[in-house]
Amino acid sequence: MKKAFVTKEQIEDIVKKYPTPFHIYDEKGFVNNVKAVYDAFSWNKGFKEYFAVKANPNPVLLDILRNNGCGFDCSSKTELILSKAVGAEGSEIMFSSNDTPAEEFVLADKLGAIINLDDFTHVEFLEKTLGKIPETISCRFNPGGVFKMSNGIMDNPGDSKYGMTKDQLIEAFKILKSKGAKRFGIHAFLASNTVTNEYYPQLAGQLFELAVEVQKATGAKIAFINLSGGVGIPYTPDMEPNDIHVIGKGVKEQYDKILAPEGMDDVAIYTEMGRFMMGPYGALVTKAIHEKHIYKEYIGVDACAVNLMRPAMYGSYHHITVLGKENEPCDHVYDVTGSLCENNDKFAIDRKLPKIDMGDYIYIHDTGAHGYAMGYNYNGKLKSAELLLREDGSVELIRRAETPMDYYATLDCLDVYSRLGELVDGKI
């Protein structure tokens, strides 16, 4: 059973000031999760979690994460700027990008970020762009083929656009070392949203063996190994969640087995989790505003795929709680829909739920990562507010809802812009 971290009574109080829809985040929940991650990897002196900014780029949340020891995994200019704005600099930032514009490498270097190169050709591109090679550098590895575990095929790296082959990575390290690099890192991301304690240990074993081979072949000092993300969350209520302490122990076993005997017991372990760090600690709260009875039963809510596009984009499951009806039987079957002019704008299809009445508050679970961040403005729909449920129970606005003028903002180069402003102000 998935439980909401807010009650119907709390939401009824919140909407007096902040109308639905909105995303709300549980500070106590994600802070405790950060502490658990650091405890699970406390055996590694250099461990650092680089929170994937793409998962939830809100500066208030980033600031809390940083104050609890996290760095930031950035993949764009705007994410680098956002990370700098909350005080991160130097090795607190990991810049893992692909098809990267020169200006973004320049900014990453200016901030002192650790640059993680996605492709062999980027070695020459980086040197031409910066006029140098940074002393600390990382390269992304792609083993190709199919990534399998005991519970089946997890993903297909061979079809992925990311990373270098092993031969390319070894050659890249040789060149980088000859041009002044002194500290090297290896990075890899082989599977997404794995709900198994086996993923990180198995990935770690592959990367540790690679690190030993690369260091012997190149003489490059492997300073860190970045396991990236991929540790997932149980979106469905029947799934057993990952145990980060079991995962940390599994990585340590591989470390002691492979790296330590080679005298590489000073290698730092980095992670770049977004979904695991924040996913369960966010929710989209929306209100039932329409019902429709045709060939199926529909409940229309005041949110849409603009607010959470994963179900429309991937067919992803997000659990739904009807606040105040947690203990009522799920004896009705609904499609829960938004208002976009797209038939895939559905948060749930043929979902068994309690009877939903107009005005009921619908709590959509697990939107703390890749929820608000993936939003867009199709149909002229506006993105919602973001709220933070503080540890003391208070609620803080951490991003206001968009207005029509936000939607029109980039039209300020046109004469019609002033007329739009007048119309928004009611001068119709």
Taking the complete model, does pTM exceed 0.75, yes or no? yes
Residue 21 lies in a domain: no
Q: At what angle do helices 166-178 and 121-130 cross, to 10 degrees?
A: 30
343 and 237 in one domain?
A: no
* Per-residue tokens: 303: 């949110």
Hey, what amino acid is at 96? Answer: S
387, 14 Cβ separation under 8 angstroms: yes
pLDDT of amino acid 171: 98
Three-class SS of residue 425? coil
125 and 248 in one domain?
A: yes
90: Cβ–Cβ under 8 A, 6 or more apart, which residues? 111, 112, 113
* Per-residue tokens: 309: 């596009």
290: Cβ–Cβ under 8 A, 6 or more apart, which residues? 298, 299, 300, 358
Residue 5 lies in a domain: no
285 and 274 in one domain?
A: no
Question: What sign has the CA pseudo-torsion 244, 156, 309, 321?
Answer: negative
301 and 262 in one domain?
A: no
Residue 242 lies in a domain: yes
Q: How many CB atoms lie within 10 A of CB 299?
A: 25
112 and 240 in one domain?
A: yes
Task: From residue 121, give the alpha-carbon distance in Å to each of 128, 142, 188, 219.
Answer: 11, 15, 18, 21
pLDDT of amino acid 357: 98
7: Cβ–Cβ under 8 A, 6 or more apart, which residues? 323, 324
**Phi and psi of 352, rounded to 5°?**
-80, 120
Hey, what amino acid is at 239? Answer: M
304 and 157 in one domain?
A: no
**Phi and psi of 310, rounded to 5°?**
-55, -45
Counting the structural domains of the chain, the total is 2
Domain boundary among 212, 247, 279: 279
Residue 363 lies in a domain: yes
Domain boundary among 261, 279, 297: 279
Domain boundary among 254, 279, 304: 279
369: Cβ–Cβ under 8 A, 6 or more apart, which residues? 52, 55, 56, 274, 275, 277, 278, 279, 282
285, 270 Cβ separation under 8 angstroms: no
* Per-residue tokens: 35: 């502490």
286 and 204 in one domain?
A: no
Residue 10 lies in a domain: no
286 and 238 in one domain?
A: no
70 and 216 in one domain?
A: yes
In order along its 428 residues, the chain shows pLDDT tens digits of 899 999 999 999 999 999 999 999 999 999 999 999 999 999 999 999 999 999 999 999 999 999 999 999 999 999 999 999 999 999 999 999 999 999 999 999 999 999 999 999 999 999 999 999 999 999 999 987 666 655 554 556 767 788 999 999 999 999 999 999 999 999 998 888 899 999 999 999 999 999 999 999 999 999 999 999 999 999 999 999 999 999 999 999 999 999 999 999 999 999 999 999 999 999 999 999 999 999 999 999 999 999 999 999 999 999 999 999 999 999 999 999 999 999 999 999 999 999 999 999 999 999 999 999 999 999 999 999 999 999 999 999 999 999 999 999 999 999 999 999 999 998 77
387 and 262 in one domain?
A: no
Residue 303 lies in a domain: yes
CATH number at residue 349: 2.40.37.10
Reported residue count of the chain is: 428
Residue 272 lies in a domain: yes
169: Cβ–Cβ under 8 A, 6 or more apart, which residues? 120, 139, 141, 186, 210, 214
341 and 274 in one domain?
A: no
Residue 225 lies in a domain: yes
Range(s) of the domain holding residue 389: 280-410
Residues annotated catalytic, as ranges? 341
CATH number at residue 126: 3.20.20.10
174 and 272 in one domain?
A: yes
